[in-house]
A = this chain, B = another copy of it.
């Protein structure tokens, strides 16, 4: 069997004829390595494979030979690609399928099974580097998709594409994103007249919120051209352009002093090799009594990003552990004051996003195509599972300079 069946760029393989004995055997080994989940596999010729007990909860239809070999050789990457192009279908609840598959992912189960050895032979890629130019390309890939697209399913008031905060579970996404923005500002003890540097500002919602609600003056950095244009328009519309300045540049080029340094949802795109540089920027800018907050998706232990997400959705992304994040703080004697893990809030946030995404599915299909719709459905659903199952964390870290005693004694002020 030629190995390039497993390559994205490979020509579509013939699916004429039924699956071979080898193909059925390897797929059976795969299901056994997954500890015989309640998942049946239906192949293109109609053959049905099932190793579990009782009735299967889910059936996965593998419609081409290429999809089967892709799944065997690099399931993380190729499941996503073949699900997106429709040559793999999931009959039943997609979330439930991901939940079962995540818990029993063969890599976690056994390093000696046939397909894992096969994967090793085929090799795996590495995450892309985040040099200044590569960062721009990586960010363009995701955030410049189109403002119209994100407007369809993010909250309408602040266009927050980061974890919301649910002090009560029945909040709308508009309410929970506003609550998140307040939570961040309170953690930063944001005051009238404070000068803020924001690294990675998205569509500028936090910067405008800080200016309007707290009277802050904000310089907000972003390398996504479309987001910067959107952010500037909004600031002008809302009469905030005297207090909020959106800078189309890398955060590493930030200059001047600030009372507050904030970064919400950028660190995932920075790459651990650049954490020290981020610390250098904060150390250069933050005033002696300044406060800082970094909000980022994270991990309990170091693991590579899911290959499909890293390749198709978020090029260059890597969620760090708290230990890895320490590289931002320790060399500069920053004092970590408060860490909050909002993992389950991100699962709720993503459920709201997915619901609105599905409500607007026809418009998304018009903007892109069916393949895009399926890829994003998988990404949003898979992300809910990752946060719910504890594969991903959400860390909000508050810090100050080590010498500053201008820090609150307790965190009670966050809950008044």
Contacts and interface: CB of A to CB of B under 8 A. Distances in A.
Contact of A323 (B302, B323, B344, B414): B323
Given A338-B339, A390-B404, 9 more contacts: A169-B409, A301-B330, A323-B330, A335-B393, A336-B341, A390-B402, A412-B415, A414-B415, A415-B415
Given A322-B326, A412-B167, A301 B344 contact: no
25 contacts: A166-B409, A167-B410, A167-B412, A300-B329, A300-B334, A300-B335, A300-B402, A302-B330, A321-B326, A322-B336, A323-B323, A335-B341, A335-B343, A336-B339, A336-B341, A337-B341, A338-B339, A339-B339, A340-B411, A344-B405, A345-B409, A389-B403, A390-B402, A411-B415, A412-B415
Question: Mostly helix, strand, loop or mixed at chain A's interface?
Answer: mixed
Interface in A377-416: 388-390, 393, 402-405, 407, 409-412, 414-415
Interface string A234-257: 000000000000000000000000
A331 interface: yes
Contacts of A335: 300, 341, 343, 390, 393
Interface of A: 166-167, 169, 300-302, 321-323, 326, 329-331, 333-341, 343-345, 388-390, 393, 402-405, 407, 409-412, 414-415
B333 A300 contact: yes
A42 to B, nearest CB: 31
A298 to B, nearest CB: 9
A406 B259 CA distance: 37
Contacts of A343: 335
Contacts of A414: 411, 415
Contacts of A403: 389-390
Contacts of A331: 301
A326 B323 contact: yes
Nearest to A323: B326
Contacts of A405: 344, 388, 390
A313 to B, nearest CB: 23
A196 B403 CA distance: 37
A343 B339 CA distance: 15
